[in-house]
Structure 1
Amino acid sequence: MDLLNLMAAGGGVARRKDLVANGISSHQLAAALSAGQLSKPCRGVYCLPNANRSALAAACAGADLACISAATRHGLWVLRPPTQIHVSIDHGRSLDQAFKVHRSSKPLTILDICVQCMRCLPELDALCIVESAVVLGEVTIDALRRRASGRRDASLRTVIDMIDPFSQSIIETVSKYYLRRAGYSFQSQVYVKGVGRLDLIVEKVLGIEADGRQFHSGASDFEEDRRRGNLLVIKRIPVLRASYALLVDHPEVFLQLVRQAIDAYVPNEQHPPVGISRQSH
């Protein structure tokens, strides 16, 4: 791997010792600096022009990204950005208040990052990150369970028990979290004949579509959305559309809408809901 690709793979930031360990010479570093391809913001640290700012701040502090900051760097589902940069250090020096310190003496794996998030973050924030790591194939539920087998790990096991490896988006994860807490039963990714999959079916009656991932980028997308909506009306399947802002900022409003929709739709023997496959995936 050449210098620039090696830098890019690390978020655009690297320490000199790590670059040298990967076969990069002093001549290559000097040439890249001279050409303006790299800069040297602090002693022993090099970065690309588009370097991750959190990773750069951590490197200049002699630390590595950890917990939610590392999860962000790896593209996991982060519900709310952290107010501090979470870092891992193996030295005794104190860092300023811009950092939240996690102690670790080894490079962090995705599994380590997930465990840190479950120990450090609010339950829902941790669930989003850990569930996405499972969905993206970065960790397995079995591996998480093995790491959360201690007597003091009950809160971690609670998060792990909520993981759905078939989630399609962070707002689907959030909607299931609040539905579960409110005591509703639901199925995810339910197939409706002629329509396709609905994100959720609540109490076998109400469909929910998590709209954060749906952007009508063209006429075909718009027409497909209209087709699905019309068929759902014909099949007498009511559907609520839940946006990111609704779920994250106003979950109580979301749950009120769910309750009102279910109360308003009382199937009877003459007009039961039709077309829903009870098999979920």
Structure 2
Amino acid sequence: MNVRISSPPRPIESVVAALGTAVRRKRLISRGYTDWHIRCALKSGAILRISRGVYATVDSSALAEHLAKHQAELTCFGRAKTEGLWVLHDQDVPHVGTAHGRPVPGCVTYRFRGRLSLRAILRHCAQCGTELEILCVLESAVIKDKCTMAELRTLFSRRKDGRVRKIIDMIDPQSMSIAETCARYHLKAADYNVQGQALIPGMGHLDALVDGQLGLEIDGKDYHNNEKAWEEDLRRGNVLIIANVPTLHFKAAVAMYYPEEMLRWVRQALETIAAARR
């Protein structure tokens, strides 16, 4: 009698890729693959054996292979970035999570139990980041429907989480980008009144309105480098002139990495507006 071995629904290399491009045998077995499937994939060149019980795609990174060999997963801001959350700065060394708790060479190591969940990733970010870095990642988690404000408050309800709860109070679910979040943070820290996504009749929404009189637009090249976007920018600019809302335009990088330059322009613009109204 011939024994037929059923094939899993997905090619094994696609699963390895989805799991970070390098995995241990145990994770493949837990997803319904057998040693026969693994041998076939190795023979065809779909995956590579990089050490005993560890397999990788042909285009896997050195970091992914290093983590798989040490039974570790990327966490903190590095993992948040792969999850599509807003990360202001890349970390100098990888921050990783392990169930075994042993140090991973060349990495900052956290211990976690079970599956590395979003809750654990956000907690790791909150342990390592600056106030602004934490705000960016938490705000994007809410905006991208990864979690709710209520869930964040529950996650950070311990006595020692007071700092993070203050950051949660800063979240604006209407923010459209990390650059807007950074601009709002720095402006409020400088004691300006900031209204995010301020509605201007006939134009739409401004990225921010400062002290009720100065508009701010944060222009990222990804959204302003085609003919349609250029035409819309011209229309919006004309409406702002008609509505008597003077508006500064900043590159996203200025709001994110050079806030002192943004604040200087805002201060000078408000001084000009005040002088003209005397």
TM-score (norm 2): 0.89
8 Å Cα contact 1:118-1:127 kept in structure 2: no
Of residues 80, 86, 90, the one that matches 1:81 is: 90
Verify the 8 A CA contact 2:180 2:255 in the aligned structure 1: no
Q: Percent identity, please.
A: 36
Looking at structure 2, the residues matched to 53 and 235 of structure 1 have their Cα atoms a distance apart, in angstroms, of 55
CA distance in 2 between counterparts of 1:130 and 1:50 reads 31
What is residue 132 of structure 1 aligned with on the other side? Answer: 140
Q: Displacement of 1:214 after TM fit? A: 4.6
| TM-score in terms of structure 1 length | 0.88
Asked whether 1:194 is paired with 2:202, we answer yes
Offset from partner CA, 1:84-125 (integer Å, 9 cap, x none):
1110112243322x2011121222211221121112111111
1:251/1:224 CA distance change after superposition, 3 Å: same
Question: Matches of residues 191-270 of structure 1 in structure 2 within 5 Å?
Answer: 191-212=199-220, 214-266=222-274
Most deviating of 16-25 and 40-49 = 40-49
Identify the match of residue 25 of structure 1 among 12, 21, 34: 34
Residues 1:77 and 1:103: Cα distance change in structure 2 (over 3 Å): same
Counterpart residue number, 2:111: 103
Q: Please list every run of 5 or more consecutive structure 2 residues that lacks an aligned counterpart in the other structure.
A: 1-8
Which one-letter code corresponds to 1:179 in the other structure?
L
Counterpart contact for 1:119–1:156, Cα < 8 Å? no
Count of matched residue pairs: 269
Q: CA deviation at 1:209?
A: 1.1
Name stretches of at least 5 consecutive residues in structure 1 with no aligned partner: 271-281
Report the secondary structure of 2:104's partner residue: coil
From 163, 166, 170, give the equivalent of 2:174. 166
- Per the TM alignment, residue 187 of structure 1 is displaced from its structure 2 partner at its CA by 1.1
Please give the secondary structure, in 2, of the residue aligned with 1:153. helix
Equivalent-residue separation in structure 1 for 2:34 and 2:54 (angstroms) = 14
1:194-234: CA deviation from partner (whole Å, max 9, x where unpaired): 21111111111111111126543432221111111122122
- Spell out, residue by residue over 1:163-182, the C-alpha distance to the aligned partner (whole angstroms, 9 max, x if none): 11121111011111101111
- CA shift digits 1:123-161 (9 cap, x unpaired): 111111111111111111111111222221111112111
Q: Which amino acid aligns with 2:125?
A: C
3-state SS in 2 of match to 1:28:
helix
Does structure 2 conserve the Cα–Cα contact (< 8 Å) formed by 1:54 and 1:69?
no
2:20 partner letter: G
CA distance in 2, matches of 1:208, 1:214: 18
- SS of alignment partner, residue 274 of structure 2: coil
**Pair 1:15 & 2:34 matched:** no
RMSD between aligned residues: 2.1
The answer on 1:46 being equivalent to 2:55 is yes
The structure-2 alpha-carbon separation of the partners of 1:183 and 1:77, relative to structure 1 and needing over 3 Å to count, comes to same
Identify which range, 46-55 or 107-116, moves more after superposition: 46-55
Contact 2:101 2:110 in 1 (8 A): no
Which gives a bigger RCO, structure 1 or 2 (Cα 8 Å, sep 6+)?
1
